[in-house]
Structure 1
Amino acid sequence: MWANQQTYINVSFDATSQGQVAMVVYEWADAPYLGITTDTNELLPSQKTYVCTSSVASKGFCTPDGLGRFILDLPSGKSINDTSFWSARVELPANNSTTSQRESTAIGDVLNPSPNGIYKYTQPIQYLVRKTGYYCVAIVPVTVQGVTVQDVPSHPAYNALVFFRNKFDGRLPATDYPKVNFYFVMFIYWGWLCYKNAQDLLPLQYYLSGLVGLLVIEMVANWGYYRYLNAHGRGTTATVFLIVVAILDAGRNSMSFFMLLVVSLGLSVVKESLGRTMIKCQALAAAHFIFGILYAVGIVELELESTSALVLLLFVIPLAFTLSGFLLWIMYSLNATITQLRARKQRYKLSMFEKLYRILLFTVLVIAIFFVVSSFSFSGRLAEDYAAKSWKVQWWLLDGWLALLYLVCFVAIAYLWRPSENNRRYVHLLLSGFLSYLLISTLAMSEELAQDEADAEDYDLESFDRRGRDRDDDDEVTLRGDEHNLPVGEDSVVFEIGDEDEEDMTPITAKSSAPSRYRTERHSGEERRGLIGGRGDDS
């Protein structure tokens, strides 16, 4: 329970309930004091007895005054008022009039004093809660000889309702309540990101803006779902709402990994098309989408404490396989793209992909750490005290940390690919890609241009945008010189290479009435010297 000054636990019995019950309310931290060990067989786990009956009292494990109560085995110097226990032997409404003993209640400043005699039930029993914790209510019917003059069944029938009043209004379990505020904060932040990126009309940022918009919708849906579940409880509408949220969540994850994969493969930066590889990417994204829906529904509908490990694995393992496939493929493709950009000496793009690589390494490291932590946590899910120890962080282990990790990584990647001068130039070149392609095709008809694919990779579209910029920039080199090693004017330059080091640049000129491949290769050394010399002429 999440506690404040108005939180409490109410236990009410139906008017038809009869007989007597042993009842105790306590916080789990005091659970070791509940019951007494009555069997110490070395070959078997120790056995505890929890309720004081006539037979138990005759063996000396409890006193006659404690008949019909839960046994509290407190250490010396510690009284019941020093703990969270409220313990009583309660006489139920149907036979209150026949009781020969009277109720006696402890008096003092204790928050929840336990009655000394038999507690006659006349109104709901209220247990005040002022400390956040895992609270338990135990009720066991008892029959003690000589207690009443009216015969009742050996196991009296009773109906009881336990009401936990948390600091929030609603029907959500305390373990799920943090998700309400968590997803509301996420919704506010994603909304701000969407508003901030709404003015970026660049094609490269359309994907990010669209993903931010999807995230806003998904966070609103998550927040709305838990608000609805808190107000109305489980039902058909809540299940439909859950399926919608699961679809949005799985779509968010699949779309994110798919975009990251095709970017890592160099689509639109290194390669114009991925060919059949794109079909494989789409198939992996579709599989991840389906398994993500199953996982999202499973973590809400399944009870971790009672569900078998095999069923849990059926929800977790398929998603783990597709997630691992995405991560491995992304890292492999990113390494290949970085190697290619490094070979082409496109330093600006290389720096962006290297930063992206570091972000992904950080993500993999965090996932590995939390996988180990979660494995240790869930390995003890069948333990008696698992729920008591993990109820506060259960939501965090299941999906909270994943949502926060996604937030951190997405913001970092969005910042890395934010609109800037370099991005704007690059996107402008993508928009004019068809015109550039026609120009390159026209130039390629000349035998002075490289005709094989390896040489063609050295030409970068960014050079078109860099024409006319300061010649002193290391990334802006204008190719000069002709076959006579003479400087060539600005109007004679027909192609530039962007992001290339000077020592790897091969000059291209339009000054040759009868060009030939052999002639170009023969004069490459002279033209390289002309290139370096040409830069000095401009200064």
Structure 2
Amino acid sequence: MLNRNITRSIFNCVLAFIFLLSFNKEVMVKANKETLTQHHYRTCSGMYSKEDWSGKVDPFISFNLKKFNSENENDSGVIVAIFDFQDFEHIGIELPDGEIYYICDEFAVDSGLCTSEQLDQYLIQDVVYDPFTGTNRTLAHPIMTFSQKNLGLHDSKYPITKTGYYCIATVSKYESTEYKAVVNFRNAYGKLAGAEINKLPLYGLLAIAYVVAMALYSFAFWKHKHELLPLQKYILAFFVFLTAETIFIWAYYDIKNEKGDSPGIKVYMVFLSILTAGKVSFSFFLLLIIALGYGIVFPKLNKTLMRRCQIYACVSYVLTVAFLIQSYLQDPEKTSYLLLITLIPMALSLFAYYYMILRSMTKTVIYLKEQRQIVKMGMYQKVLTIIYASLLIILAGLLVSSFIYVGTNSIDMVEQHWRTRFFYTDFWPTLVYFGVFVTLSFIWRPTSTSYMLASSQQLPTDPENVADFDLDDLQSLGEVADADLRHDDDDLDLNFSEEEHETDEQNKPAKQPTA
């Protein structure tokens, strides 16, 4: 019964941690330039006015026709409308039979829906009935509509005088017409999309937070440099990696904002995918060796076991890198089953990680309960509490996001939340990951007792004095630990090779769990 309850608890906690990692998405940036075709014929983007987010240029939306092929000589070209999303109901006129007519053609002119000067443009109504409010609505901003057949940049640009969510829609009279156009949503501050610009300062602040947390951990690392556990070296190395990764992400947004899309940016994205794969793989690796009792339950793992963990981490890393690079290079507008070539192996490797973590942590927790090692058991209970808390935060975040979207109508949702939508979709899990990692590193930080706690292999014989045993035992091990430290001058070296000194048979710890 005890084993079953422990297994169920560990199952939920590890599932929560993996759920957290799956939400911690890699960097995905929406470009300020969008491509439109006869199949993908409309797009929208948030735009800031120059007063709300200053910059070197006046913000605008431009249309550049790159390709146009039509078999009909009378084809007037691509018909375009640029408008504020609030005004989408003003486009098109409802006919008596209930059908909505969108284009001003000969039929529309004969029906009195438009004039001959408006031929080959979208039909626009200045006043429409709003079913959400039950009132008539007028245009929030002017709608720019035109048709273009000649290749090149359109003569006029749509000026952005007020912050909002703006769209562009295209259509052709004939289904056989093929076209391709590039729309530039140019903000004053640079070339990042309006929905992405807030990530630039936020990732900068997150990088500073990582630097501060790493500095505090490094101080404890230096202060107890003669009392270090190998696990604490792994944590410091991962701290350095996470700090560097966050700085690289911030730099990516800064470069993207200045340079826009370029071959160098695509190479940089591949580089970031490699870092993201390392973050995912090493997070699972750390959780696995902690689940095996590395550093606290057992000062060092069996050399063969540690090598297996490291090799599997490398394999998982390679599979994750392959998947991320392939997903970045694949055209997002085309569906291809070739992505499964890397997706399936990566998913299987993460599932295997999940199984090994579950199995190992279950054995370790059961071992600590059986041996009544209360202090060590308390540390693992804190880990489980942290993972449970992260799950609750994730669920709460999903509920809050759902209430925000459900509680407003579609127009208000887009208009009010395009600036903060990135936070609900991919940034707040990054903050949760930061909080979980910093908290776990605080629990496993170097202290004056952590080394002696890991060295303790004695077992209490009196159940009533279990709590007193661990603390007294730490003091009794002080002299032994000091003697060991005189022969351990290389502790400060971040060497993860696990080359160990042989110990006497009688001092060996109990059998370690296997991954």
Range into which the TM-score falls when normalised by the shorter chain: 0.5 to 0.7
Counterpart of 1:9?
Answer: 60
Decide which of 166, 171, 176 is 2:187's aligned counterpart.
Answer: 166
Aligned to 1:503: none
List per-residue Cα deviations over 1:343-402 (Å, max 9, x = no partner).
211111110011111222344566678899999xxxxxxx9x999999656655664344
Measure, in 2, the Cα distance between the counterparts of 1:256 and 1:463.
34
In 2: Cα distance, 1:368 partner to 1:468 partner: 44
Aligned with 1:414 (options 441, 444, 447)? 441
Aligned residues: 389
Q: Gaps (5+ residues) in structure 2? A: 1-45, 52-57, 69-74, 130-134, 403-409, 460-468, 479-506, 508-515
Residues 462 and 210 of structure 1: CA distance in aligned 2, closer, same or farther (over 3 Å): farther
Cα displacement (A) at 1:239: 2.6
Change (3 A) 1:396 1:314: farther
1:159-238 superposed matches below 5 A: 162-170=183-191, 172-199=192-219, 200-201=221-222, 202=225, 203-204=228-229, 205-238=232-265
Q: Which letter does structure 2 place at the counterpart of 1:9?
A: F
Q: Distance in 2 between matches of 1:228 and 1:83?
A: 34
Give, in angstroms, the shift of residue 88 of structure 1: 4.6
1:87 aligns with 2:96: no
2:296–2:453 Cα contact (<8 Å) kept:
no
Distance in 2 between residues matched to 1:466 and 1:238, nearest whole Å: 56
Determine which of 476, 491, 501 is the counterpart of 1:467. Answer: 476
Offset of 1:244 from its aligned partner? 2.1
Structure 2 counterparts to residues 12-27 of structure 1, below 5 A: 23-27=80-84
Structure 2 partner of 1:57: 109
Deviation at 1:339? 1.8
Provide Cα deviations, 1:23-62, integer angstroms capped at 9, x if missing partner.
432122332332245697xxxxx96532111123334555
Instruction: In structure 2, give the amino acid aligned to 1:174.
Output: G
Measured at CA, do residues 29 and 294 of structure 1 come closer, stay the same or move farther in structure 2, by a change above 3 Å? farther
**Alignment partner of 1:128 out of 132, 140, 160:** 160
Is 2:292 the partner of 1:265? yes
2:90 aligns with 33
Q: Following the alignment from structure 2 to structure 1, what is the Cα–Cα distance between the partners of residues 197 and 427?
A: 12
Q: CA–CA distance in 1 between the matches of 2:296 and 2:148?
A: 79
Between the two structures, name the one with larger relative contact order (CA 8 Å, sep ≥ 6).
Answer: 2
The answer on 1:249 being equivalent to 2:280 is: no
Aligned 1:482-497 pairs, distance under 5 A:
none
1:2–1:167 Cα contact (<8 Å) kept? no
- Which has the higher mean CA deviation after the structures are superposed, 31-40 or 218-227? 31-40
How many angstroms apart in 2 are the aligned matches of 1:372 and 1:328? 29
Structure 1 residues 83-482: aligned runs within 5 Å = 83-88=140-145, 124-133=156-165, 135-138=166-169, 162-170=183-191, 172-199=192-219, 200-201=221-222, 202=225, 203-204=228-229, 205-271=232-298, 272-274=300-302, 277-297=305-325, 300-301=328-329, 304=332, 306-308=333-335, 310=337, 318-364=345-391, 392=419, 395-396=422-423, 399-426=426-453, 429=455, 465-467=474-476
Q: Which runs of 5+ in 1 are unaligned?
A: 41-45, 95-120, 144-154, 376-382, 431-435, 441-448, 450-459, 470-496, 498-539
TM-score, structure 1 normalization: 0.58
Identity %: 22
Change (3 A) 1:245 1:297: same
SS class of match (1:338): helix
CA deviations over 1:407-465 (Å, ceiling 9, x no partner) = 011011012223344325336x48xxxxx9xxx9xxxxxxxx9xxxxxxxxxx998664
Structure 1: how far apart are the matches of 2:477 and 2:76?
97
Q: Is the 8 A contact 1:69 1:87 kept in 2?
A: no
- Matching residue of 1:508: none
Q: Distance in 2 between matches of 1:291 and 1:390?
A: 36
* Aligned CA distance change for structure 1 residues 158 and 343 (closer, same or farther; 3 Å): closer
Question: What is the CA distance between 1:308 and its match in structure 2?
Answer: 2.2
Distance (whole Å) between structure 2 residues aligned to residue 29 and residue 311 of structure 1: 40
SS at match of 1:75: strand
Q: Please say which structure displays the higher CA radius of gyration.
A: 1
1:143-190 Cα distance to aligned partner (Å, 9 max, x none): 9xxxxxxxxxxx9x99987543324223x3334433322322221111
Q: State the AA in 1 paired with 2:110.
A: S
TM-score by length of 2: 0.61
